[in-house]
Amino acid sequence: MPQAQIIDGKIYSERVRAEVAQEVARLRRDHEIQPGLAVIVVGDDPASQVYVKSKGEQSLAAGMHSVTHRLPADAHIDELLLLIAGLNEDARIHGILLQLPLPGHLDQRAALGAISPDKDVDGLHVVNAGRLANGEPALTPCTPLGCMIMLRETLGDLTGKSAVVVGRSVLVGRPVAQLLLQADCTVTIAHSRTKNLAEVCRQADILVAAVGRPRMIQGDWIKPGAAVIDVGINRVPFDNPEKAAAGKTKLVGDVAFKEAREVAGWITPVPGGVGLMTVACLLQNTVTAAKRQNGID
């Protein structure tokens, strides 16, 4: 059997970003609206700083208005809520993204709940989760949106396909399952209490892994010809003992890529797969939010 085809996140994310840039140009030209994204970061977590920088740069590159607000690690919740309230009222800002995780003393739920659902471009407000669950127009979390773009581009119509999502987080597992259901798949959500997980996975025409456990999904858990979307991003030591001894690490997914590639029909790599879609979909959500706030189709 031939090896699985790679679903290349670089190609699809570049396409989404190009479409976004085109739409931003149209909104600026025809409606004098420049979609605006505000990113809030609290504290100095190095990974968060990298993500925030990338979000700022990519939104500017797409022609958007972009601002980053930095609060100190010991910021009081009132300071954060005041900032969010101001951005909710700011007509130049159509999307607000609160970089997670927050420092432990801050109530994440209260902060996310303070963002106007119409500007909640991360799709984490309960109102958007509810709209998604009801099948109503919602701002949808970015990573699940990226998974769906890749699946539709690869498989076309998803109707009737058996989809298994491993993971049930609010950020990835649940929303991706809702989107697969909206696409008329027959959806199973698996999690840490699922019995016979390998057997459950083997039923899947579409297998989405969002677990956070390096290479947990083995090749023989995969139905021959299935589409495998690996959301996991795990940092592990190099296999090469010398590099590992030097403390060098690399990124791997939740799927044992080499063996999975021998069985699957399509597969996303890590890195170079779903991860690249997340920021592209954030930009897309900001454009969607700007259009909805201005009554534009």
How far does CA 251 lie from the centroid of its chain?
A: 17
Draw the binding track, 90-119, toward ligand NDP (x: CB under 6 A; -: no contact). Answer: ------------------------------
Q: Could you say whether residue 171 binds ligand NDP (CB under 6 A)? A: yes
| 3-state SS, one letter per residue, for 183-240 | CCCEEEEECCCCCCHHHHHCCCCEEEECCCCCCCECHHHCCCCCEEEECCCEEEECCC
Residue span binding ligand NDP (CB under 6 A) among the ranges 105-113, 149-157, 211-219, 243-251: 211-219
In single-letter form, the type of residue at position 209 comes to A
Q: Could you say whether residue 123 binds ligand NDP (CB under 6 A)? A: no
Residue nearest to ligand NDP as judged by C-beta position? 169
State yes or no: is 55 an active-site residue: yes
Q: What is the DSSP string of 43-85?
A: S--HHHHHHHHHHHHHHHHTT-EEEEEEE-TT--HHHHHHHHH
State yes or no: is 3 an active-site residue: no
Residues 6+ apart with CB under 8 A from 110: 77, 81
Burial of 212 (C-beta count, 10 Å sphere; 0-12/13-18/19+): middle
Q: Could you say whether residue 141 binds ligand NDP (CB under 6 A)? A: no
Q: What's the first-to-final CA gap in the chain, in angstroms?
A: 45
Q: Could you say whether residue 158 binds ligand NDP (CB under 6 A)? A: no
Separation of alpha carbons 53 and 34, rounded Å: 20
Q: Which of residues 188-207 bind ligand NDP (CB under 6 A)?
A: 190-194, 197
H helices then E strands: how many in the chain? 11, 11
User: Among residues 56, 117, 212, 237, which is the contact residue for ligand NDP, using CB under 6 A?
Assistant: 212
Sheet holding 162-166, edge to edge: 5-6, 266-267, 227-230, 206-209, 162-166, 186-190
In this complex, which beta carbon is closest to ligand NDP, that of residue 183 or of residue 197?
197
Residue 147 DSSP SS3: helix
Q: Could you say whether residue 183 binds ligand NDP (CB under 6 A)? A: no
Q: Which of residues 32-71 bind ligand NDP (CB under 6 A)?
A: none
For helices 9-31 and 274-293, angle between their N-to-C axes, nearest 10 degrees: 20
Q: Could you say whether residue 167 binds ligand NDP (CB under 6 A)? A: yes
Q: Could you say whether residue 269 binds ligand NDP (CB under 6 A)? A: no
User: Among residues 35, 36, 144, 173, which is the contact residue for ligand NDP, using CB under 6 A?
Assistant: 173
Q: Could you say whether residue 166 binds ligand NDP (CB under 6 A)? A: yes
In this complex, which beta carbon is closest to ligand NDP, that of residue 33 or of residue 172?
172
Q: Could you say whether residue 271 binds ligand NDP (CB under 6 A)? A: no
Draw the binding track, 19-38, toward ligand NDP (x: CB under 6 A; -: no contact). Answer: --------------------
Q: Could you say whether residue 274 binds ligand NDP (CB under 6 A)? A: yes
Active site residues: 55, 99, 122
Give me the residues that bind ligand NDP (CB under 6 A), please: 143, 166-169, 171-173, 190-194, 197, 210-213, 231-234, 274-275, 278
